[in-house]
Amino acid sequence: MNKSDFELLQPVEWDGIKGYISFIDDAYLTICFIDQPLPKSANSRWGRHYVSILVYPQFWHEIRSRLDEEEKEGIHVPPTSDLLQFGRCRSVGAAHKQNGTRKDERHPPIQ
């Protein structure tokens, strides 16, 4: 198998691990198998907990697509990842002005 046989976000199974392809390169690909939202108190930049496994090309022949399984069983699990929901198009970490910063306290707005 080669790189062109895989697609990003394709549901797959490898060595009993079910997930989706999150990165593809000539040297390796990664399968994300844990994708959970973090509690609000975690102060994470992305707000999610991702765990991926790296698979080298010599093991790509063992990767099985799960698209056929999901179609046969009529299972449609809505995506939980921001990557899956927004197709990596969402701007994450956009800069915004926070109210109540020290700069605001030193220079109150002129009325």
Q: Which domain holds residue 77?
A: 3-83
CB-based contact 34:44 (threshold 8 Å): no
Give the model's confidence band at 107: pLDDT under 50 very low, under 70 low, under 90 confident, else very high: low
Section 45-67 average pLDDT: 90
Per the prediction, the chain carries an average pLDDT of 75
**Is 11 a domain residue?**
yes
Q: How far is 24 from 8, CA to CA, in rounded Å?
A: 7
**Is 62 a domain residue?**
yes
Domain total of the chain: 1
> What pLDDT was estimated at residue 89?
41
> What pLDDT was estimated at residue 53?
96
Q: Is 100 exposed, middle or buried (0-12, 13-18, 19+ CB in 10 A)?
A: exposed
34-50 residue pLDDT tens: 988 888 777 767 788 88
> What pLDDT was estimated at residue 92?
41
- Exposure on the CB side of residue 5, measured as CA atoms within 13 A: 12
